[in-house]
Amino acid sequence: MLTTIIESLRTRFPQSVLEVNEFRGETTVRVRKDDIVPVCTFLRDDPAASFDYCSDVCGADAYTPEERFQVIYNLYSMTHRHRIRLKVSVDESHPHCPSVTAVWPGAEWPERETYDMFGVVFDGHPDLRRMYMPEDFAYHPLRKDFPMMGIPDSIPLPRK
Amino acid sequence: MNIDQAMEIRQQKILAALENKNTSVHFDDALDNEMVLNMGPQHPATHGVLRLLIKLDGETVVACVPELGYLHRGYEKLAENMSYHEYIPHTDRLDYLSPLMNNTAYVLAVEKLVGIEAPKRAQYIRTIISELARISSHLVGIGALAMDVGALTVFTWTFTERERLYDIFELLTGARFTTSFTRIGGLAHDMTPEVAAAISAFLDTFPAKFHECISMLNTNRIFVERLEGVGVITREKAIALGLGGPNIRGTGVEHDIRRSEPYLVYPELDFAVPVSTGGDSLSRYYVRVNEVKESVKIVRQCLEKIPAGPVHANEPKKVLPRKERVYTKMEELIHDFMLVNFGVNPPVGEVYHAVEGSKGELGFYIQSRGEGHPWRLKIRSPSFMNLQSTPHLIEGGMISDIVAVLGSLDPVMGEADK
Amino acid sequence: MGLEHAFGDSALTTTIDSAINWCRKNSVWPMPLGISCCGIEMMAFAMPKFDVARFGSEVFRFSPRQSDLLLVAGTTTYKMATVVRKIYDQMPDPKWVIAMGACTSSGGMYRTYSVVQGIDQFLPVDVYVAGCPPRPDNLLHALMMIQEKIQRGESRSTPMTVAAERLEQQQLLQIQGVNN
């Protein structure tokens, strides 16, 4: 089932599917960053795929010279009951990624969380604020170069 | 930056978000204008530290902006800095209404990554504890919902039943609340016959007691009328927003991971997936009530079918050995040393495993680089996605309905804020 | 702790004060600040099995202005700290604070960027309760310790006697004098 979806994805977007991985029965498709919105729209609307449920959007810090940030989309189909994972790479110098909130409104908060934790800016997001940390916080805590205990005095405490 | 400036920045951004929702905020004349109401983070009906900024026109909610993060504890950063085994106690405190469920969900994800499977008996016990956790979570969910709309008695009754479950957990795991019972490839220890007897004794009396609790509510006109038609969400919108658990089944979607992607021993069990089609708060409540009944059925079947045998997988390099053998056997001592100091070391790869938690799809996405600790661990928490729907459910309704809607969503801030 | 302010330290006021303290200790109104997991055990502490009503503290006030015991139950993050402090400031004197659980007392298992490593960094705490989360029995014990403190007339929020208050004022004047 998933192989036919990937085939149709390859024929439809020959430039954007970069790599397909299989591990423990789960399929991960690396997609070019600029094409993520058309790919997602296709995956949602294609009747064979119909990934109508955006289970999760999250970021990761690869922290290698070639690649810095990843944005990962875990998708699920209510009708066919299968899963797929999409992955895009985001540069450190220009941490921008197109937002998929137009495809799945449910991606709004996970994208905000990714912005908060990694500093990846989602272009086209309706309300890109920090999800968890206070607005005056200047760092992105899940980056690998952020220390576990944080930066001292970066968040003010009330006076005793 | 001092604290006053910081607070001002935080307020401005939130108010700006409220303004973006096609509303305007004026503070000149309170009677002439719409009013901004701040609800939480300390509010008895927000189930923890959720904060809602609400804009009111009279008593009608015009706009609502939820503000999270008051309980952000940095779980995902913690996971990157500790071994797979060390992280199990942290999963207790995610959805703190059903710690055993989180333990199970996490170890299932790690086992998928490592490529091992727990023995049949361990899987049965995991199913039993998951369902008992679901019952205990729904008991608080139902009781708190009743308390939010003004019926305190039911909460004391459901909590009394929960206390009996606590006693069982204490007998089984040694702790009444934060259990940390599962291990990678098995369980902390086997279930003794006393525990099985205690569970069946509980199951014998529980349905009647539970019936007493819900018959207090189902026939209560105030309760029903405060929930009926309140916080309605359509089936399509619920799927698009990523709702889960009883909240999506309350809109008529028959989505249950126990059925659609079976894990543990659920394929061998006979149970129904309760669905209600109303999409309102009352439907969500009914789904929870029926789920508790189904869980009772599941635990009964498990207790009948549970086989004898070991509760640890025979994978010495992956599964922590029993303590008494560590102290007496050389091999086990070496394995224990290696596992504790260097970890499980799963192969390079990434997995996502989801279970049907008491609030919805509870998933763990793990990226491994072959080290003893995860490179990246993402918790897909159901409460986070459920809370995303609050503006859609609340806007256009009355201010007094907010507590009913929040109670029927049953969010737990521990996992929503991570 | 109350009457001496008006009438000075005398045998009459201290006797009346101890009577007032006796009343006060048996009707502590807690402000339950259930932030996380400890909040559930705090609920258990109020529910029938452990039944805090035996100690006269069943009146859980969700408004800080009507309560005299702040029960901080759960992990306090930096974002929440300002809120906790604001609630504490809104409570009328005399007031007491219980730090329930390891996270509240010391940060506990969360040595991370977002968690305050102990609420005593911004609040005066009267009783710390160990455990993650503490059992409701532990919390009952903490409440009894608070009651003993009240009977002794101790509170960390207000000076205990007129003499102590005068001393504090003198010290304050001295500091101001140095600054001027």
CB atoms within 10 A of CB B324: 9
What is the pLDDT at residue A92? 87
Assess whether pLDDT exceeds 50 at residue C160: no
With a cut of 80, say whether residue B10 has pLDDT above it.
no
Residue C10 has pLDDT above 70, yes or no: no
Per-residue pLDDT reduced to its tens digit, B242-297: 888 899 999 988 888 998 888 888 998 998 999 988 888 999 999 999 999 999 99
Nearest to A129 by CA among B244, B47, B9: B9
Cβ of B242 within 8 Å of Cβ of A53? The answer is: yes
CA B354, CA B261: separation in Å to the nearest integer? 9
Please name the amino acid found at residue A84: I
| A55 domain residue, yes or no | yes
Judged against a pLDDT cut of 90, whether residue C56 lies above it is answered with no
pLDDT band at B104 (very low <50, low <70, confident <90, very high): very high
- What is the average per-residue pLDDT within B199-204? 92
Residue B365 has pLDDT above 90, yes or no: yes
Question: pLDDT tens-digit profile of A4-51?
Answer: 888 888 888 888 888 888 888 888 999 988 888 999 999 888 888 888
Residue C99 tokens, joined = 């730090």
Are B73 and C113 within 8 A, CB to CB? no
Q: Which phi-psi region, left, alpha or beta, contains residue B415 (left: φ > 0; alpha: ψ -120 to 50)?
A: alpha
Domain boundaries, chain B: 75-417
Topology given in CATH for the domain delimited by B75-417: Cytochrome-c3 Hydrogenase; chain B (1.10.645)
| Sign of the torsion angle spanned by Cα atoms B35, B282, B216, B147 | negative
Nearest Cβ partner for A60 among B1, B17, B376: B376
In whole angstroms, give the CA distance from residue B103 to residue B88: 6
Query: Where are the domains positioned within chain C?
Result: 4-179
The CA distance from B247 to B390, in Å, is 12
Burial of A42-81, coded b for 16+ CB within 10 Å and e otherwise, reads bbbeeeebbbbbbbbbbbbbbeeeeebbbbbbbbbbbebe
Residue A31 pairs in a beta bridge with A17
Of B13-22, B29-38, B247-256, B274-283, the poorest mean pLDDT is in B29-38
Of C86, C111, C122, the CB nearest to A157: C122
Residue A90 included in any domain: yes
Using DSSP, state whether B55 is helix, strand or coil: strand
The single residue listed with the structure tokens 């997988």 is B313
Interface-testing mutation among C36, C67, C90, with chain B (most B C-beta atoms within 10 A)? C36
Q: How confident is the model at residue B35 (pLDDT cuts 50, 70, 90)?
A: confident
Query: What is the per-residue pLDDT for B8?
Result: 77
The residues, ordered by sequence, that sit 6+ positions from B224 with a Cβ below 8 Å of its Cβ are: B217, B218, B282
pLDDT band at A65 (very low <50, low <70, confident <90, very high): confident
Mean pLDDT lowest among A6-15, B28-37, B168-177, B390-399: B28-37
Residue A143 CB coordination number (10 Å): 17
Question: With contacts defined as CB-CB under 8 Å, which chain B residues touch C139?
Answer: none
Q: Which of B42, B92, B140 sits opposite C83 (nearest CB)?
A: B42
Domain spanning C4-179: CATH 3.40.50.12280: yes
Do A74 and B255 make contact, defined as CB atoms within 8 angstroms?
Answer: no
* Sheet arrangement for strand C127-129: C30-34, C69-73, C96-100, C127-129
The answer to whether B361 and B380 have CB atoms below 8 angstroms apart is yes
Structure tokens at C129: 């309760």
Decide which of C10 and B330 is more confident: B330
- pLDDT at position C53 is 87
Give pLDDT, residue C48: 85
Q: Does B13 touch chain A (CB under 8 A)?
A: yes
Q: Of B12 and A122, which is predicted with more confidence?
A: A122
Give A-chain residues touching C86 at CB under 8 angstroms. Answer: 158
What does the alpha-carbon distance between residue C38 and residue B49 come to, in Å, rounded to a whole number?
A: 13
**3 state SS for chain C:** CCCHHHHCCCHHHHHHHHHHHHHHHCCCCEEEEECCHHHHHHHHHHCCCCCHHHHCCCCCCCCHHHCCEEEEECCCEHHHHHHHHHHHHHCCCCCEEEEECHHHHHCCCCCCCCECCCHHHCCCCCEEECCCCCCHHHHHHHHHHHHHHHHHCCCCCCCCCHHHHHHHHHHHHHHHHHHC
Residue type present at position A117: M
In angstroms, rounded to a whole number, what is the distance separating the alpha carbons of residues C45 and C53? 10
Give A99 to chain C, closest Cα distance, Å.
Answer: 27
A neighbours by CB contacts (3+ pairs under 8 Å): B, C
Answer whether residue A144 is part of any domain: no
Answer whether residue A49 is part of any domain. Answer: yes
The pLDDT score that the predictor gives to residue C9 is: 65
Q: B77, C40: Cβ pair inside 8 Å?
A: no
Among residues B302, B356, B353, B261, the alpha carbon closest in space to that of B121 is found at B302
CA–CA distances in Å: residue B274 to residues A110, A141, B8, B295, C159: 28, 40, 47, 11, 60
Nearest to C121 among A134, A146, A157 (CB): A157
Confidence class for position B414, pLDDT limits 50, 70, 90: confident
- The whole-angstrom separation of Cα B293 and Cα B211 is 10
The string of pLDDT tens digits covering residues B384-397 is 999 999 988 888 88
Q: Which domain holds residue A6?
A: 2-107
Q: Specify the pLDDT at position C180.
A: 46
Q: What is the mean pLDDT of residues B375-388?
A: 91
Interface test with A, best of B234, B235, B259, B376 (most A CBs within 10 A): B376
pLDDT score at B208: 93
Per-residue pLDDT, averaged over B77-102, amounts to 89
pTM score of the predicted model: 0.87
Structural domain contains residue A41: yes
Domain count, chain A: 1
* Residue B343, pLDDT score: 84
Q: Give the DSSP letter string of B295-346.
A: HHHHHHHHHHHPPPS-SB-S-TTTSPPPHHHHHH-HHHHHHHHHHHHH---P
In CATH, what number is assigned to the domain containing residue A43?
3.30.460.80
pLDDT of residue B12 exceeding 80, the answer is no
